[in-house]
Structure 1
Amino acid sequence: MTKVMKIYFSPSGTTKKVVEQIAGNFTDEKETYDLLNFNSDKKFSADDIAIVGMPVFAGRIPKSGRERLAKFKGDNTPAIAVVNYGNAHVTDSLLETVELLKDNGFNVVAAASTVSHHSIFDGVAQGRPDSADIEKINEFAEKCIEKIESGESLESEIPGNKPYVDYKQLPFVVGCDETLCAFCYDCVSICPEKAIPDDDPVDTDLDLCSRCTACIHICPEDARMFTGDAFEAKKPEFEAANSERKEPEFYL
């Protein structure tokens, strides 16, 4: 029996939304692998279909997300590769995802870069993906289904360069307002880098933290946020530079 595998690393929830949207066009049974909390080896068969979504962090897919995705192996398993970004730059991230899947035994049939509300700078791409994006994503999904049914593989050239751009560590501080924190420990459990101490959710080890935003978006009290001079200085500059709408790109 064919199963659709929804695989994503989605700290702010937007990449998950895109993968779910694509998967909704398939009538097959679904399974979900959330790479924020799934960190084990997994092997898929040629009868499975993998929809893989990764966010873009400064032109790359996040290091911890890549490490976890690398544990997934295919057996000529059809795969759709998606990177989701905040209207800034895709750079090498989509090529990186496609190449990783191919190296791990997946038959990549299609790829896409989609746009969502920026996870750090909230003035960029507000409301994305919007209805126009969703319509394009659904059209892409239908074409993916046709390609899988016909046994075709990816033909389009994917933009990007090798070697990929170096990983960058953002200088921003992730802070917590102790007067708002309810000490629910949701941030501790979701952090993929284990950068928040088990016994002190107010603290963050900034040397370990990847600035992925998972702790910020899961906090029920809005107690966690980016702060500091570097963030405050960069925010207006970044939002002004990335105000022009970018469109999703699809590769078949």
Structure 2
Amino acid sequence: MKKITRIFFSPSGTTKKVADKIAGNFKFEKEICDLLHFNDAKEFTQEDIVIVAMPVFAGRIPKTARNRLSKITGDNTKAIAVVNYGNAHVTDALLELVDVLRENNFDVIAAASTVSHHSIFDGVAVGRPDNKDIEKINEFAQKCMEKIESGESLKSELPGNRPYVDYKQLPFIVSCDVNKCVFCYDCVTICPEKAVPDDDPADVDLDACTRCTACIHICQEDARSFTGEAFEAKKPAFESANSARKEVEYYL
């Protein structure tokens, strides 16, 4: 029986949910490769199928996720490329993901951009993916199965440009309310950048931090959040500018 592996980087959990929805349409043995924790070399064969799902960080796939994905190679392995974003802009992220996969000897058969509740600005894309999104995601999965049966590769032109936009470091502060923190160290364990010191989980190294939100979303006490003048000033303008609904798009 064929095997399908979900490879994802999902600090807030939304990108994993999209990958899970797509994989649920396949009646194959299923495995996962969570790039928040996985940083080793891995090889796939011609018998494998992979769903590679990445969040969009300011128009790019996250640098850490890209570096970890670069260690994963295929052997003309069928790949489905997905970027998940918070209703703002895909920019070059989908093109970049497909380029990385092709460089690593994956045969990309289809690609998609999906929408989820924004991980930083919580007033954007509330409730997404919703039923309409899931219907479109399932439709995309069915099209992917047809592409696998036909043996065809991705033919559609993708949005984006080369060279890709530069990586951006957001100026927002990630802070911890010490009155709520119970020092469970979940934030220390999950941080892919090792930006939360294990001797003081209430702190964060803002130079190392990529604002991925993993530490915020894993905190059971709601002790961690974005704060500061830059965040408070940006929030209303960003939410207003990105209030118009964007739809799931797929490319075959």
**Structure 2: gaps spanning 5 or more residues:** none
Q: Aligned ranges for residues 112-191 of structure 1 at < 5 Å?
A: 112-191=112-191
Which residue of structure 1 aligns with residue 215 of structure 2?
A: 215
Which residue of structure 2 aligns with residue 192 of structure 1?
A: 192
1:28 has 2:16 as partner: no
Which residue of structure 2 aligns with residue 96 of structure 1?
A: 96
1:87, 1:117 → 2: CA distance?
A: 8
1:37 has 2:9 as partner: no
Partner amino acid for 2:6?
K
**Structure 1: gaps spanning 5 or more residues:** none
Which SS does the other structure have where 1:146 is aligned? helix
Partner amino acid for 1:58?
A
Which residue of structure 1 aligns with residue 225 of structure 2?
A: 225
* Cα displacement (A) at 1:2: 1.2
2:161, 2:93 → 1: CA distance?
A: 9
Q: Deviations over 1:120-156 (max 9, x none)?
A: 0000000000000000000100010010111110010
Sequence identity (%): 74
1:220, 1:67 → 2: CA distance?
A: 29
1:110 has 2:110 as partner: yes
Aligned length: 252
Output the aligned Cα RMSD: 0.4
Which residue of structure 2 aligns with residue 49 of structure 1?
A: 49
Which SS does the other structure have where 1:102 is aligned? helix
Q: Deviations over 1:24-65 (max 9, x none)?
A: 000000010010001100000010000000000000000001
Which residue of structure 1 aligns with residue 15 of structure 2?
A: 15
Which residue of structure 1 aligns with residue 65 of structure 2?
A: 65
1:188, 1:245 → 2: CA distance?
A: 35
Q: Deviations over 1:142-180 (max 9, x none)?
A: 010010111110010011101100000000000000000
* Cα displacement (A) at 1:223: 0.3
Which SS does the other structure have where 1:83 is aligned? strand
Q: TM-score, normalised by structure 1?
A: 0.99
Partner amino acid for 1:173?
I
Which residue of structure 2 aligns with residue 76 of structure 1?
A: 76
2:208, 2:57 → 1: CA distance?
A: 15
Q: TM-score, normalised by structure 2?
A: 0.99
Partner amino acid for 1:129?
P
Q: Deviations over 1:189-235 (max 9, x none)?
A: 00000000011100000000000000000001000000000000000
Which SS does the other structure have where 1:51 is aligned? strand
Which SS does the other structure have where 1:95 is aligned? helix
Partner amino acid for 1:118?
H
Which SS does the other structure have where 1:31 is aligned? strand
